[in-house]
Amino acid sequence: MVNTVRVGSRGADVVKLQKELNKRGFKLSEDGIFGVGTEAAVQSFQKSVGLVPDGIVGPNTWNKLLESSGSKIQTISPKGIELIQSFEGFSSKAYDDGVGVWTIGWGTTKYENGVRVKKGDSITVQRALELFMHDLSGFEKAVRSLVKVPLTQNQYDALVSFTYNVGVGALQGSTVLRKLNSGDYQGAADALLSWNKGRVNGELVELKGLTRRRNAERDLFLT
């Protein structure tokens, strides 16, 4: 049994917490002292699994930590979430993404019930986070289902970011997936770079934002 811990806590439970967080890509000193660094890592983890990011490790946070620790299901890391959110950007009001798709929050185009985002919609940060985590879950499931070869955490994060942007259908029919499932990891990474175009006024053109994103995903994949 583990106890609720928070800033100021010390001892074996905090060491266990720090070890579990480090398994997920954080770089904490496993010193048993719950300081501001550990709190920030906890809040990032809580956000990644859809919990309120209050920095307090109670039953719900412990369950999420230990559940994923005992499971072989791969999940996106805080670094992967940061990558996606940095390129998607946050908007509390619906906007045209440049190719005629109304978007809100961190790249959400549909609500949980399937209704599309429309002009005039607005949203709070908390609601946007709920939608982001809902969307992210679906893209993660697709990556886990379609990829048939082992992935490092960075490779997984890069592919989830790619899929979040282009969609499941695009991943499924892509050279990226074909090369990856054949064991050609380098070829898959390089194939990401071709997905940098979008239609502007009916013409397929290179979009600088997509070029930056594909390069970042490729770099992460190969790291």
Backbone torsions φ then ψ of 48, nearest 5 degrees:
-70, -20
Choice among 30, 82, 97, 184 that is catalytic: 97
- Give the residue from 191, 189, 89 showing the smallest Cα distance to 132: 89
Q: For residues 55 and 139, is the Cβ–Cβ distance under 8 A?
A: no
**Residue 96 bears catalytic tag:** no
* CA gap 179, 201 in Å, rounded: 32
Choice among 13, 88, 121, 157 that is catalytic: 88
**Residue 88 bears catalytic tag:** yes
142's CB contacts (< 8 A; 6+ apart) are 163, 168, 171, 172
* CA gap 221, 80 in Å, rounded: 11
User: Catalytic positions, please?
Assistant: 88, 97
